[in-house]
């Protein structure tokens, strides 16, 4: 009986040391670096051309001035242009086509008017609002509200939703006519 137990232990030991770990699809990557951070792995479903409108210098705290927002948008695959409000906004909208305009809530109406007068295709306006600023008015048609601070994945998901709505818009108008 002892010899069988010894043989069994020897076989199990040899089998355990000689076997290899078999990992499923993405499990190999989790072993090396414990996964890829969302910021590096996220790619926009619908890459957009975004115009980031910075308010004038006398506005001390502006959510759109966050440098991590700009870098996250670029890492996600969006093309981002930055312009100073209000001097260069009409020029930037006239020079190139933008899908989304990210602007502070106070400057959203001016950005909407400039977009309507100069751009060939009207961009979607995303108003950035500080979350602690109290009641936010309801957005006008074609306008979206981004409350900050928010985590970057949520911001990127909102921009993907805006682009999906822009891409679905021509389908709705042609199918309804």
Question: Within a domain: residue 98?
Answer: yes
Question: Within a domain: residue 25?
Answer: no
Question: Within a domain: residue 23?
Answer: no
On the CB side of 17, CA atoms within 13 Å amount to 5
CATH number for the domain harbouring residue 122: 3.40.50.2300
Distances (CA, A) of 87 to 12, 18, 56: 77, 71, 9
Question: Within a domain: residue 109?
Answer: yes
Please tell me the distance from the alpha carbon of residue 56 to that of residue 45, in angstroms, as a whole number. 32
Question: Within a domain: residue 12?
Answer: no
Please tell me the distance from the alpha carbon of residue 86 to that of residue 76, in angstroms, as a whole number. 27
Is 86 in contact with 44 (CB distance < 8 Å)? no
**Domains contained in the chain, number:** 1
Confidence (pLDDT) at 173: 53
Question: Within a domain: residue 119?
Answer: yes
Q: Where are the beta strands (DSSP E) in 91-173?
A: 100-104, 124-130, 143-148
More confident residue, 42 or 133: 42
Collapsing DSSP to helix, strand or coil, 147 comes out as strand
More confident residue, 98 or 120: 98
Q: pTM above 0.85?
A: no
159-173 pLDDT, tens digit per residue, is 888 888 888 876 655
Question: Within a domain: residue 67?
Answer: yes
Q: Which domain holds residue 120?
A: 38-176
Distances (CA, A) of 114 to 26, 71, 88, 121, 132: 47, 26, 10, 12, 28
What is the bridge-based pairing of β-strands 49-54 and 100-104? parallel
Question: Within a domain: residue 11?
Answer: no
């Amino acid at each position: 009986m002892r010899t069988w137990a010894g043989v069994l232990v020897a076989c199990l030991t040899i089998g355990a040391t000689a076997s290899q770990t078999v990992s499923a699809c993405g499990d190999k990557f989790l072993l090396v670096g414990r996964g890829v951070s969302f910021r590096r792995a996220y790619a926009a479903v619908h890459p957009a051309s975004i115009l980031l409108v910075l308010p004038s210098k006398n506005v001390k705290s502006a959510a759109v001035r966050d440098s991590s927002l700009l870098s996250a948008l670029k890492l996600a695959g969006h093309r981002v242009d930055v312009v100073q409000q209000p001097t260069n906004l009409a020029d930037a909208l006239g020079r190139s086509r933008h899908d989304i305009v990210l602007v502070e809530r106070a400057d959203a109406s001016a950005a909407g008017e400039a977009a309507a007068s100069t751009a060939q295709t009207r961009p979607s306006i995303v108003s950035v609002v500080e979350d602690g600023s109290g009641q936010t008015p309801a957005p006008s048609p074609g306008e979206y509200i981004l409350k900050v601070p928010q985590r970057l994945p949520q911001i990127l998901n909102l921009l993907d939703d805006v682009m999906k709505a822009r891409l679905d818009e021509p389908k709705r108008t042609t199918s309804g006519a």
